[in-house]
Structure 1
């Protein structure tokens, strides 16, 4: 069915429930406590401790406990680096997903796209401590889910690309193709395209923002041209994490007390609401030239990537 670049014995893999299944359960309003109890028992005494810890990580993040969730993930990766998402279907395609050990909204959520299909997903987590193995799993396609808009990931993505350069399997989300799409870079490269309007975006450090708030020099900074209200979010954040709309310098100081990140993107706020007051964003994916509508949102923040 599938093949790898070099014949080898299979590395250690653990099977987990997966983020998509746990998210669906949570969105239905079902009680996850029995699942948590089973996972905690498995994490302490079961043969697949890593898988249990990884699922506990997802549940804690769904509950809003990011720090605790990332701690579970760290413990999981000490047990196992590769996880297969549980499926009852007979696989006819193997996808090897390369992910970063970050919050669950940071990696491209391919698991939601291929759920309930005959595609088998195996996710390999990569970091400074967990490098790309010398021999990979058997696979038909490689999908790079690790984000490019994060300083810590850029160098690692380049390492991924160099390692995979000699493989003859298709690579989706090619690292070299996605680097360069930072929010402050995209407006420079695509902002001049006719018919395209992108919000002007600046990058600022926590130190710079605090200094301008204290010295009251916001009005003389480049950020002042954004006007009010404006949008602020941490560099490398996704899924609306710590994304807020602010109007005054005082609100920036309050925001920095709530958010512990070191670097931020500040963008002008474009009011693109319709006459009914709803904000509509339509996402379309083209596959072999055929358009597929994905989703829309109804307020300015919901569904923000």
Structure 2
């Protein structure tokens, strides 16, 4: 996945790879691993339904896959437990281990098959399935045997299940120095009622009032995300959407004094936070790709400063809140997207175990990034090695 994503990210011709693999699939000479690559290519080319259909057919016959390893004699074997979902709803662990010399096996846990007995031989396992609807059955199956897992099992499924938007705020509410607006599940009828009578928002949650942030339940990557300022805007939004279930939360204006919005991604590895990236834009709905970072020397300089001074800057300012977030979430590896409010509090938008942490940005434009990404990757590998060493000492 990491290699194919890098080719697509760099604008290379992945359609030729698609055509070659499709020809093998149609003439019956393609193997299961090439089928999974074909599924990924379809998604990278923007045809998610086709990619998921191919993946479904492949996984009915074969659930275990081994990723290419940088070493011919790996010193560690990791078993990643994935859900049968799109490429954005499993931890993209290949990026974290691509150059590590650690062997990676991915076992897809699907509704149509039970976990294999015995399990594939491994030194440590990690749940990479997300808390999305299509991963719930996978998490349930893993959780049913988690207490009897023969090796260390990281990111246990019952904790992954706390990351959905309507659960996270309950998990983190009350942490000093942290702001996380309540995210509330609302159906179309409730929202149409609120559009007619804004006071009805209070029946969904006491703190709700316009302006609101709204998105379809289960959506990712900003699909359907909008800010609605009043009942008329909410009605217009609903008229343009077909979904029946939505998440809503109050809007927090996190613009800085210069009227720019700054959004940060922080990665937690074994409880320790690391800077991942920083996006700056004149719009509240920031993603790194719409912030114009590659086109602005000033923005990149600020991001570089954020990374280089994280431990004495952002990380120190929010040390207590970040530490409490790590404890409350309780996962071995996860990511938060966050900002700072005007009063200096840490504002959390979301937390998950599947956000992309990569080293694909061109070093000529972002010369400060490779070192930081390697730092995160090294921390992840070191965590795996520590956990295995502790287990081996305990067994001895």
Q: TM-score, normalised by structure 1?
A: 0.80
Q: Secondary structure at the match of 2:103?
A: strand
- Whether the 8 Å contact between 2:129 and 2:138 is mirrored in structure 1 is no
CA distance in 1, matches of 2:249, 2:111: 31
Aligned mate of 1:167, from 133, 144, 149: 149
Report the CA distance between 1:116 and its aligned residue.
2.0
- Whether the 8 Å contact between 1:43 and 1:50 is mirrored in structure 2 is no
Q: Which has the higher helix share?
A: 2
- The alignment's C-alpha RMSD in Å is 2.7
Asked if residue 251 in structure 1 is aligned to residue 232 in structure 2, the reply is no
Report the CA distance between 1:274 and its aligned residue.
2.5
- Whether the 8 Å contact between 1:285 and 1:293 is mirrored in structure 2 is no
Distance 1:37 1:127, change over 3 A: same
Greater alpha carbon shift after TM alignment, 111-120 vs 229-238: 229-238
Residue aligning to 1:232 = 214
Report the CA distance between 1:291 and its aligned residue.
4.5
Q: Secondary structure at the match of 1:199?
A: coil
- Whether the 8 Å contact between 2:201 and 2:208 is mirrored in structure 1 is no
- Whether the 8 Å contact between 1:49 and 1:79 is mirrored in structure 2 is no
Report the CA distance between 1:47 and its aligned residue.
4.3
Asked if residue 131 in structure 1 is aligned to residue 114 in structure 2, the reply is yes
Distance 1:275 1:84, change over 3 A: farther
Report the CA distance between 1:99 and its aligned residue.
0.8
Unaligned stretches of 5+ residues in structure 1: 1-18
Report the CA distance between 1:198 and its aligned residue.
0.4
Residue aligning to 2:182 = 200
Report the CA distance between 1:108 and its aligned residue.
1.7
CA distance in 2, matches of 1:291, 1:139: 27
Q: TM-score, normalised by structure 2?
A: 0.63
Residue aligning to 2:193 = 212
Report the CA distance between 1:191 and its aligned residue.
1.6
Distance 1:163 1:47, change over 3 A: farther
Equivalent positions of 1:74-85 (< 5 A) are 74-85=56-67
- Whether the 8 Å contact between 1:144 and 1:175 is mirrored in structure 2 is yes
Q: Secondary structure at the match of 1:279?
A: strand
Report the CA distance between 1:137 and its aligned residue.
0.7
Q: Secondary structure at the match of 1:42?
A: helix
Equivalent positions of 1:85-164 (< 5 A) are 85-90=67-72, 91-150=74-133, 153-154=135-136, 156-164=138-146
Q: Secondary structure at the match of 2:241?
A: helix
Asked if residue 39 in structure 1 is aligned to residue 21 in structure 2, the reply is yes
Report the CA distance between 1:143 and its aligned residue.
0.9
CA distance in 1, matches of 2:144, 2:224: 33
Alignment length (residue pairs): 280
Q: Secondary structure at the match of 1:59?
A: helix
CA distance in 1, matches of 2:44, 2:236: 27
Aligned mate of 1:283, from 257, 260, 266: 266
Report the CA distance between 1:20 and its aligned residue.
1.4
Report which structure shows greater RCO (CA 8 Å, sep ≥6).
2
Residue aligning to 2:166 = 184
Write out per-residue CA displacement over residues 55-95 of structure 1, whole angstroms, 9 at most, x where no aligned residue: 22222222222222211211221332122223342222111
- Whether the 8 Å contact between 1:232 and 1:245 is mirrored in structure 2 is yes
